[in-house]
Structure 1
Amino acid sequence: MRRRWLWLAALPLLLMLMLWSADRLWPLPLREVHPARVVVTEAGVPLWRFADENGIWRYPVSLNEVSPRYLEALLNYEDRWFWKHPGVNPFSVLRAAWQDLRAGHVVSGGSTLTMQVARLLDPHPRTPGGKLRQLWRALQLEWHLSKTDILTLYLNRAPFGGTLQGVGAASWAYLGKSPERLSYADAALLAVLPQAPSRLRPDRWPQRAQAARDKVLRRMAKEGVWSDRQVKESLQEPVWLAPRQMPQLAPLFARHLAQREAGVKIVSTLDAALQRQLEALALNLKSRLPARSSLAMLVVDHQSMKVRGWVGSADIDDDSRFGHVDMVTAVRSPGSVLKPFIYGFALDDGLIHPASLLQDVPRRFGDYRPGNFDSGFNGPVSMSEALVRSLNLPAVQVLEAYGPRRFTGRLRNAGLQLRFPPAAEPSLAIILGGAGARLDELVAAYSAFARHGRAGQLRLTPQDPLLERPLMSQGAAWIIRRILANEAQPLPDSSLPQTVPLAWKTGTSYGYRDAWAIGITAQYVIGVWTGRPDGTPVAGQFGFASAVPVLNQINNLLQAGVQSQRIAQPVDPRPASVTSAAICWPGGQALPAGDTNCRRRLATWLLDNSEPPTLLAQGQESNQGIVRPVWLNKKGERVAADCPEAIKKDVLLWPLPLEPWLLASERRAARLPPASASCPPMQAEDVAPLLISGVSDGAIVKRLPGQTALSLRIVSQGGQGRRWWFLNGDLLEASGNSVTLMPQKSGEYQLVALDEAGQTAVARFTLQ
């Protein structure tokens, strides 16, 4: 007898042990290896979905993200005792069994919501054994999860027809709205669809769906959950839906974000309305693009650095245009897009100011000889003019003074990583596109011109922190942005527009492979790229003709949105470090009225009241610069320094390479006073320094591939009278200002030019 009682006492423990063991052996299948994922906007609008291995897509929601009307309809129609039963409602099971026996077929299943979730997690056959398995899973759910968790599982796993699961996906696909905004009719429809999702699909069988919905509505009125008036009005709404609306926005952005972020619902910073407009614009422009060409567009709110629009290709479905390649993150040659940065850095370093005299003249830098886009040269230009017209030689001149390595490192520190071929070093060519860059990084760097000199990092999700790094001073950023907005001329603060109009810069890479346009509005930074993703040249494609029209269309879309929503635009007042002044050429500094050295007066902005003198290119003007000290007698004639009553005076001369572009009255021969016959100056004072261009001292010259001969045309500037040329000590048969060298053997060479004044210029080079 005692043994029997012991067995009876141990039976509950044994049963509990068996249940515990079964729970460990057959755990709940809650985790998915490849779950369905969806990328949404901050407002919750789905952009793109990534289905699971079965092709199912979901829009995950929590209880507070679903309309209370839906929860009322669901619980009152499906499981009124959900919050009280232990997962299985014995009364419902017995009632369903009795109804099935009387009818001779299945009338109702008696399943609770917990049991339905169990079947969704672990599908089973409709057999007695399958039913027991469902009961077991239901008890497991109640054991491990709270009622709220179980209901949330149902909300996200319930079938709604085809590849849709969950009320969130169904609400967006069928109704085009958030599940938080469901009407009474919407809530009743979505509550009944999981009972027969294929048979009741509202986009295919609207009459069936309406009959089922009306049944739910009448029950809600009968049980007093909803008022008769609410139900009566809802019954009058017809069920007529357009085909399912699948999330099909920003596919390349979604792919980029899904690779970076975890989770089944990824919230992004995109604006769905703007993204839809940009993608429509891309499709409209596709037919106008050259064959196999694509385009990329990026819109960023520079105040928050949130990405609002991202179009990585013209059409993701167009394989002929490499539509699957995201050109926002592709590395391409930026052309002239980097020029604003070198001018901003040079302003901060005190090398130049906006009206500094720069030289747009032919120059050779070793084996690198840049030219302008239009193949012409303009001689003397200001920094602001050079930037607006995107002239190449002035930018190279400033970069030469600043340093390519330093320029690259400063950009890299702010997040703009320039890419170079293996073993390549930063050179002067980077300012014209001799490096690789990404559109997203360029746009982020350009935000510095609107963020007071601090470049922000793009934010793809609201959780991304707002990170920024200093790139240039606030004053330099303000000046460059005003120049790009065609507001280089200083104005009083009362007349200066506080809201800056569209400022923009173009770029065209070598061989017409890439066309760029980057713009800055009062609120946004806009980036545009167009070209062939495979890097093939496209004849006639350049930034102003190909990318700027797209930039203007995007700006029009943004401005229309600003006006329709009446959004106040940010202002950009003049920083205290920026002042206006008038400077003189050729010296580049302010001079009093009437000073004869002021050959041209220009109004300009100054940074920290800095007036750096004219920047000379390396190797120019020998050691004298453009300031020529002369001694004058009482007649104003030039005399020797030791002549009686000689008075010293500094004469500012234009840089020697600019002579061909100057009026005759501005050239050196006219600017220097005539020499005195009684006490003439030393000859050296009258002669311009002798310079050699065409090959620089220490250059390494290489033959073209497959050729054994090499032709070098060398030109001399300055000097006086006849020229004599010597190559490795041998006199050449040339006496003019130029000579053509055709060295045959590899090795080191020394070229010497001699003029009648006895000046010499030497250039040593190595032929390989």
Structure 2
Amino acid sequence: MAGRMGAGRDDEGGSAVGTRPCHPSFRALVAVAGGVAGLVLLAGLTFYIIGPRLIGDPIPMPDEVSKSVEVLDRDGRLLRAYAAADERWRMPVAAGDVDPKFEKMLLAYEDRRFYRHGGVDFRALLRAAWQGISSGRIVSGGSTLTMQVARLIDCGGERSLAGKIHQILCAWKIERHLSKKQILALYLLKAPYGGNIEGVRAATLAYFGKEPKRLTAAEAALLVALPQSPETRRPDRHAETAKAARDRVLARMVSAGAMGAGEAAAARRERMPDRRRPFPMLAAHAADRAVAADPKANVHHLTIDAGLQARLEDLARVRAGRLGPKRSLAILAVDHATGEILASVGSPGYLDERRQGAIDMTRAVRSPGSTLKPLIYGLGFEEGLAAPQSLIEDRPTTISGYAPKNFDHAFHGTVTVREALELSLNVPAVAMLDAVGPARLMARMRAAGVAPELPAGEAPGLAIGLGGIGVTLHDLAGLYCAIARGGTSVALRESADGPRPAGGGEHVLSPLAAWYVGDILAGTPAPSAAIGGRIAFKTGTSYGYRDAWAVGFDGHVVIAVWTGRADGAAIAGATGFRAAAPILFDAFARLGRPLAPLAGPPAGALAASGTDLPLPLREVRVRRGEGARDGLAIDFPPDGAVLDVETAGTQRIGGVVVRVSRGRPPFYLFSNDHLIGKTVHRRQFRWVPDGSGFVTLSVLDSSGKSARVQVEIR
């Protein structure tokens, strides 16, 4: 036993029981190989640890990459995009916003071990090298997605051995700084797709005209194939090459078991995109305003509804084509409960130079024609000067030195106020404006958020009632919102970012006066072939046929339409009723829902007519009578008084004595347009307010003279 063990012992300290002693040269070779392997391992480990630190290139976070500016609608849908600072279309996108089949294909085709390697897949590199050596050509690449991202962020070096080493170091550095999710996000954002298109979202918008949330198998395969050679595979220029590359991806998916043969065959039959589509450009003027207001923001949110905006922009293009060359058109749709602008069409085409489409005609100051008449009559109702069935004269007359004429140069004699407004007669409107006063009309317009413009140095006169003033379509939409919502203003809002705009809640008309106006406008004859349903609307035509208007509302939305030429040139025969009203009704038809019913009458609304009306309201005597020396006056309470009225619980038991002087009995007392008393032999009333707040008291006498005061009840 001892001899055998001794025989098996090696003089140089090795032992090999039952084996032949190793030759000294072989043992030396093994020792050298082991040392070399150790040195290579040590060098590789040192390279892995220290190498990335030698790379000075910064590793950007996905949020730090320059992106296209986006303007989104109320639901986050893309309205308009702007190229990034480097003139590339690079749309922000999250992995969850891309169809999962694209990521599945991408990883199966480009980097199956993406979630397992540390940035470099040496198995793939060795396989690619062996395939290249054995076949004499490049069969597959060994780059991981991380290494491709290194190239995309200009950290990849040149296409050489040194460049490849640099790319490997960058990939290791990226993996140390970013998560796999962030690396994938950088690829989705920066992958090249031909021309100035980068990133999967920009590619789907440019080639498919849609967001990447839902993709077909063919679309996903094309998106996987394009970044490998983005210029030579562009489907809009090299359709056959692009198709061949797409089909190779599909074939790989079948061989990898990621897709069935039947599904791949169906995908290969799908038509290739043959052109590059323009990026969305909805609400272009509104988008410009949003970007100008906050140029540093990358994403802007508007209150606009993309679907409605698209439908109304299409309507504007079609209708402008029918109206003729150089004609522009603008449409504004507003939720009158909130003031949120749902659609803003500034022109038939933003890039249409013939129609000067870059000019936003929703904000252009133009003459409103007869569109202010509803507010004039509303003030008359509020003052107690008239009711809808009151009679008013439409005869040749001169009012305060102004001799108005009707649009058709005809006169209709005695008509009701309802008929005067429905027929848009000029003489009664000017007479009513003379009674309520142009200054009061201007004040109420401003309360509605309108910024009226008068010629330099001119004071408001009677001509403003027929369009002798400058307003915008945006202004008119706001004014009609106040009428539609019971006489209270609302601030229009286009941007959904930041706080709501200041303003709103101002008194424009009393609720009863606003309802009277809306009820009359709802009875205005509609143009031929108009949609069914009931909307309240008014048309207007400016002097010289330069502007045609139509503004209307249902129970939810105000829509305002303007058409004309952006340069202000006249258009013979273009009236609001013929040119704008049909567009208005068509716009309501494109809301995508039935018309919302208008509000019912408030308490105190007069349904009577003729001799059933109170005597002072049977015939409108439009004379100014606000406490003049020779007219009716309210002696108490004085205008602006603050009155404390006794209450018991929630009920008011105290009253206010209202005293009048001059005038001819009988006298009628109104509180916020509601008739609350009549006296024949006395000149005072006892009035018990029904609540707190500001109240307008009006008194009429038998001759039609009026007096009014505003008081606050506490």
So what's the TM-score if we normalise by structure 2? Answer: 0.70
Structure 1 Cα separation of the partners of residues 114 and 174 of structure 2? 13
Instruction: Measure how far apart 1:505 and its partner are.
Output: 0.7
* Residue 312 of structure 1 pairs with residue 319 of structure 2: no
Question: Contact 1:361–1:393 (CA<8 Å) still a contact in 2?
Answer: yes
CA-to-partner distance for each residue in 1:454-489, whole Å, 9 max, x for gaps?
Answer: 44444445657777534434433332122111179x
Map 1:98-117 onto structure 2 (within 5 A).
Answer: 98-100=130-132, 106-117=138-149
Question: Contact 1:522–1:570 (CA<8 Å) still a contact in 2?
Answer: yes
Map 1:485-496 onto structure 2 (within 5 A).
Answer: 485-486=522-523
Question: Contact 1:37–1:58 (CA<8 Å) still a contact in 2?
Answer: no
- Helix, strand or coil at the partner of 2:149: helix
Q: 1:402 to 1:351 in 2, by over 3 A?
A: same
Question: Contact 1:45–1:272 (CA<8 Å) still a contact in 2?
Answer: yes
Structure 2 Cα separation of the partners of residues 302 and 162 of structure 1? 45
- Helix, strand or coil at the partner of 1:529: strand
CA-to-partner distance for each residue in 1:607-638, whole Å, 9 max, x for gaps?
Answer: xxxxxx7442479999479xxxxxxxxxxxxx
> Given residue 405 of structure 1, which amino acid in structure 2 is its aligned partner?
A
> Given residue 73 of structure 1, which amino acid in structure 2 is its aligned partner?
M
Structure 2 Cα separation of the partners of residues 394 and 133 of structure 1? 86
* Residue 526 of structure 1 pairs with residue 559 of structure 2: yes
Residue of 572, 581, 584 corresponding to 2:598: 572
* Residue 582 of structure 1 pairs with residue 615 of structure 2: no
Q: 1:331 to 1:150 in 2, by over 3 A?
A: farther
Question: Contact 1:184–1:230 (CA<8 Å) still a contact in 2?
Answer: no
Structure 1 Cα separation of the partners of residues 348 and 374 of structure 2? 28
Other-structure match for 1:431: 465
Other-structure match for 2:623: 616
Structure 2 Cα separation of the partners of residues 146 and 445 of structure 1? 54
Q: 1:408 to 1:113 in 2, by over 3 A?
A: farther
Residue of 226, 236, 246 corresponding to 1:213: 246
Map 1:265-284 onto structure 2 (within 5 A).
Answer: 265-284=299-318
Question: Contact 2:67–2:90 (CA<8 Å) still a contact in 1?
Answer: no
> Given residue 326 of structure 2, which amino acid in structure 1 is its aligned partner?
R
Structure 1 Cα separation of the partners of residues 431 and 173 of structure 2? 75
* Residue 478 of structure 1 pairs with residue 501 of structure 2: no
Question: Contact 1:500–1:521 (CA<8 Å) still a contact in 2?
Answer: no
* Residue 327 of structure 1 pairs with residue 361 of structure 2: yes
Q: 1:379 to 1:173 in 2, by over 3 A?
A: same
Q: 1:100 to 1:451 in 2, by over 3 A?
A: farther
Other-structure match for 1:182: 215
Which ranges in structure 1 are unaligned for 5 or more consecutive residues?
1-11, 489-498, 592-597, 603-612, 626-649, 653-688, 690-768
Other-structure match for 1:255: 288
> Given residue 560 of structure 2, which amino acid in structure 1 is its aligned partner?
G
> Given residue 504 of structure 1, which amino acid in structure 2 is its aligned partner?
F
Other-structure match for 2:105: 73
> Given residue 163 of structure 1, which amino acid in structure 2 is its aligned partner?
N
CA-to-partner distance for each residue in 1:566-592, whole Å, 9 max, x for gaps?
Answer: x5x43334244243342547xx9425x
Structure 2 Cα separation of the partners of residues 530 and 271 of structure 1? 22
> Given residue 102 of structure 2, which amino acid in structure 1 is its aligned partner?
Y
Question: Contact 2:515–2:602 (CA<8 Å) still a contact in 1?
Answer: no
Q: 1:17 to 1:126 in 2, by over 3 A?
A: closer
Instruction: Measure how far apart 1:264 and its partner are.
Output: 4.0
Map 1:197-236 onto structure 2 (within 5 A).
Answer: 197-226=230-259, 228=260, 231-232=263-264, 234-235=266-267
Structure 2 Cα separation of the partners of residues 148 and 622 of structure 1? 83
> Given residue 71 of structure 1, which amino acid in structure 2 is its aligned partner?
E
Structure 1 Cα separation of the partners of residues 451 and 628 of structure 2? 36
- Helix, strand or coil at the partner of 1:477: helix
Question: Contact 2:448–2:482 (CA<8 Å) still a contact in 1?
Answer: no
- Helix, strand or coil at the partner of 1:580: coil
Map 1:617-632 onto structure 2 (within 5 A).
Answer: 617=624, 623=630
Q: 1:508 to 1:47 in 2, by over 3 A?
A: same
Other-structure match for 1:448: 482
Question: Contact 1:359–1:379 (CA<8 Å) still a contact in 2?
Answer: yes
* Residue 121 of structure 1 pairs with residue 153 of structure 2: yes
> Given residue 150 of structure 2, which amino acid in structure 1 is its aligned partner?
A
Question: Contact 1:356–1:614 (CA<8 Å) still a contact in 2?
Answer: no
Q: 1:147 to 1:351 in 2, by over 3 A?
A: farther
Question: Contact 2:524–2:537 (CA<8 Å) still a contact in 1?
Answer: no
Structure 2 Cα separation of the partners of residues 420 and 143 of structure 1? 67
Structure 2 Cα separation of the partners of residues 264 and 155 of structure 1? 18
Question: Contact 2:79–2:306 (CA<8 Å) still a contact in 1?
Answer: yes
CA-to-partner distance for each residue in 1:376-424, whole Å, 9 max, x for gaps?
Answer: 4445443322221222333333334434334333333332222334554
Map 1:662-741 onto structure 2 (within 5 A).
Answer: none
Map 1:113-152 onto structure 2 (within 5 A).
Answer: 113-122=145-154, 125-128=158-161, 130-131=163-164, 134-135=167-168, 137-139=170-172, 141-152=174-185
Determine what percentage of the aligned residue pairs are the same residue: 41
* Residue 509 of structure 1 pairs with residue 535 of structure 2: no
Other-structure match for 2:94: 62
Other-structure match for 2:505: 469
* Residue 405 of structure 1 pairs with residue 439 of structure 2: yes
Question: Contact 1:167–1:179 (CA<8 Å) still a contact in 2?
Answer: yes
Other-structure match for 1:191: 224
Q: 1:360 to 1:180 in 2, by over 3 A?
A: same
Count of aligned residue pairs for this structure pair: 581
Other-structure match for 1:657: none
- Helix, strand or coil at the partner of 1:177: coil
Structure 2 Cα separation of the partners of residues 165 and 572 of structure 1? 50
Question: Contact 1:301–1:307 (CA<8 Å) still a contact in 2?
Answer: yes
> Given residue 412 of structure 1, which amino acid in structure 2 is its aligned partner?
R
Structure 2 Cα separation of the partners of residues 71 and 240 of structure 1? 20
Q: 1:168 to 1:533 in 2, by over 3 A?
A: same
- Helix, strand or coil at the partner of 2:189: helix
* Residue 396 of structure 1 pairs with residue 403 of structure 2: no
- Helix, strand or coil at the partner of 1:527: strand
Structure 1 Cα separation of the partners of residues 67 and 349 of structure 2? 27
Residue of 106, 112, 115 corresponding to 1:83: 115
Structure 1 Cα separation of the partners of residues 346 and 355 of structure 2? 12
Other-structure match for 1:373: 407
- Helix, strand or coil at the partner of 1:179: coil
Other-structure match for 2:3: none
Could you say what the CA RMSD is over the residues aligned between the two structures, in angstroms? Answer: 4.2
- Helix, strand or coil at the partner of 2:505: strand
Residue of 289, 298, 321 corresponding to 2:332: 298
* Residue 343 of structure 1 pairs with residue 367 of structure 2: no
Structure 2 Cα separation of the partners of residues 232 and 68 of structure 1? 17
- Helix, strand or coil at the partner of 2:323: coil
Q: 1:159 to 1:18 in 2, by over 3 A?
A: closer
Question: Contact 1:60–1:264 (CA<8 Å) still a contact in 2?
Answer: no
